[in-house]
Amino acid sequence: MKKLLKYLKPYIKESILGPLFKLTEATFELFVPLVIASIISNGIDRSDTHYVLKMGGIMVLLALIGLTCAVTAQYFAAKAAMGFGATVREEIFKNIQKRTFSELEKYGTSTLITRITSDVNQLQTGVNLFLRLFLRSPFIVFGAVIMAFVVDVKGALIFTVCVPVLFVVVFAVLLKSIPLYKKVQSTLDNVTVKTRENLTGVRVIRAFNCDDEETEAFDKETSALKFISLAAGRVTAFMNPATFLIVNVATLAILYFGAKEVNTGIIERSALVALLNYMAQILVELIKLANLIITMTKSVACAQRISEMLDEESGSAESEKNADGNSDKAVSVESIEFKKVDFTYPGAGKESLKDISFKAKKGEIVGIIGGTGSGKTTLVNLICGYYGSTKGDVLVNGKDLKELAPGYKEGEKDPETTETGENTVLAMTKFMRDHIGAVPQTAVLFSGTIEDNLRWGKKEASEEEMDLSLKRACAYDFVYKKDGALKAEVSEGGKNFSGGQRQRLCIARAFVKEPEVLILDDSTSALDYVTEKNVRAGIRELSENAITFIVSQRAASIMDADLILVLDDGEMAGCGKHEELLRSCEVYREIYNSQFPESV
């Protein structure tokens, strides 16, 4: 929690004024029992109506001042809490954006969603209540004890026994419940996973008629959440009855001993009433404090989870540090070379790529083909910097990747390399991604307009540039048939477009950028052969000033490439042109013959 307090710095004024106004309100509240005692002793006992009305007016004035202070305190506390929550969400989102693919896979989407939504909401509520009540409640409790001594020293001794016992109970519950609420939030992650899977995969679930099985699995996750929530609830539920019991016993003690002293004339009735009012104030404040402790317990558990993620050094930290300045776009990518590159995913028992070596030059099209799971996507992910090679070198213009990072100084010590080599490769991702245009396997569009999506590749792109890219990607016709054309709406995930249309829009988005390195990862799988042929013509036109990588399982998609890499179970089975591979590479020949049986 302490590490997150730095995000309250912009709201220091509100964080001070909120509790200050609450303490002011509490101070006026502590005078109320004294006013009541004065009304009884000087007004009612003496039948002085004027005095009663005068002191009653003072009580109303105290109430109005207290209300004004309370509303003002609430305003400042809410402003600080909401600002704090917004800042923490922004920091979490930035942290997610900086993370490498392996780190994102380690956390999982559901955990990240829970932390940026549920955890931050709980933390925000905790900050709000903390600023309003954390100082006010103890102030009232200890203030009531002090005022009790002012009224009657002997009766106040009961307070000195009652209050420490109450605090022991409160902190015992606090220590017991924090770990439990941390487990509650972790279990909530699992429920989020199952919910997300069912929502995104609803078509598959219904197609296979697995509704009952998925409902049963979801019930299992929610039952686990229910069990741990009940366990945490049982602990915190002990606080209120324990508090009521202790305070009521103390109240009985005051009435018992106070009544005797009133009868013997040691103290006045007004003093006894004041003592009872102060005990009632303590009871009310401890109930508030108990609820605050429950909320703060949840908030602390959430804060720990958020802090763990924010404090964990991202593999791309070196990249961000070196890339504070703009990358040097004037440096052209003339060649990309792999030298005996190996790659193993974190936690995997086997290498996904082994001993990969090749060199691609500007103006060349490199085709990458192989069976499912052969490592095609993994190879292009290394070029994009999503992962770093475990072994071997990835060279750009004959230089190690890190040497192209902004701020790199020749001879400086290489940062410590992680299991997947992320620190070394990711030191240059800012540079590399400024020069790369990539179309992933899954066509991803964002809500907005077609124009908004195309400008992801180039923010200042003109309408003529976008039209040219759409024509090269064979998307021009269907785009301009829509109402609004470039201004046509794109729903979340591009659900209002067919699979082939989404792929062509994603290709057009990459074309708009006119990248020096173009990567198409099986991005024409939903296109018919005629459309794909036309798209390949557009790729060939664009590739004159770029290095183009085309990943495909179709031999027709890459057979006219300048260089074809054939992968088999992570290893290079062949490297060369189409005709050469037909003669020398059995794996390529099998793929080709399976797709063109008439050539056999």
Query: Residue 417 is part of a domain; what is its CATH number?
Result: 3.40.50.300
CATH number at residue 20: 1.20.1560.10
269 within a domain of the structure (yes/no): yes
Q: Any idea of the CA torsion for 32, 35, 39, 42, to the nearest 10 degrees?
A: 160
pLDDT of the residue at 430: 64
289 and 352 housed in the same domain: no
In the predicted structure, residue 517 carries a pLDDT above the cut 50: yes
509 within a domain of the structure (yes/no): no
Distances (CA, A) of 207 to 148, 216, 594: 72, 17, 30
Average pLDDT of span 348-376: 85
Print the domain residue range for 244.
2-311
CA–CA separation, 101 and 105 (whole Å) = 6
- Average pLDDT, rounded, for the chain: 79
286 and 373 housed in the same domain: no
pLDDT of the residue at 401: 65
364 within a domain of the structure (yes/no): yes
8 and 57 housed in the same domain: yes
pLDDT tens-digit profile of 392-413? 888 888 877 666 655 545 544 4
Percent of the chain surpassing pLDDT 90:
1
Which of the 8 DSSP states describes residue 8?
A: G
According to DSSP, the β-strands at 365-370 and 547-551 are parallel
Question: Do 170 and 293 touch, CB atoms closer than 8 A?
Answer: yes
At position 246, the amino acid (one-letter code) is I
- Ramachandran region, residue 350 (left: φ > 0; alpha: ψ -120 to 50; beta: rest): beta
112 within a domain of the structure (yes/no): yes
550 within a domain of the structure (yes/no): no
CA–CA separation, 441 and 129 (whole Å) = 47
Average pLDDT of span 100-120: 75
Can you tell me whether residue 152 is helix, strand or coil?
Answer: coil
151 and 285 housed in the same domain: yes
165 and 206 housed in the same domain: yes
- Model pTM? 0.63
pLDDT tens-digit profile of 526-566? 777 888 888 888 888 877 788 889 888 888 888 888 889 98
Q: Tell which of 276, 311, 346 closes a domain.
A: 311
In the predicted structure, residue 237 carries a pLDDT above the cut 60: yes
Angle, alpha carbons 301-305-308 (nearest 5°): 135
In the predicted structure, residue 239 carries a pLDDT above the cut 80: no
Number of domains in the chain: 2
Average pLDDT of span 338-348: 82
202 and 288 housed in the same domain: yes
Question: Closest Cα to residue 511, out of 484, 473, 475, 480?
Answer: 473
pLDDT tens-digit profile of 135-189? 787 888 788 888 878 777 777 788 788 878 877 887 787 778 777 877 887 787 7
Look up tokens 């890459």; give the residue.
558
pLDDT tens-digit profile of 452-479? 888 887 788 888 888 888 888 888 888 8
φ, ψ for residue 285, nearest 5 deg: -70, -35
φ, ψ for residue 419, nearest 5 deg: -55, -35
Residues in Cβ contact with 94 at an 8 Å cutoff, skipping those fewer than 6 apart: none
In the predicted structure, residue 196 carries a pLDDT above the cut 50: yes
Look up tokens 């998609």; give the residue.
557
Helices vs strands, H then E, count in the chain: 23, 12
CA–CA separation, 517 and 336 (whole Å) = 9
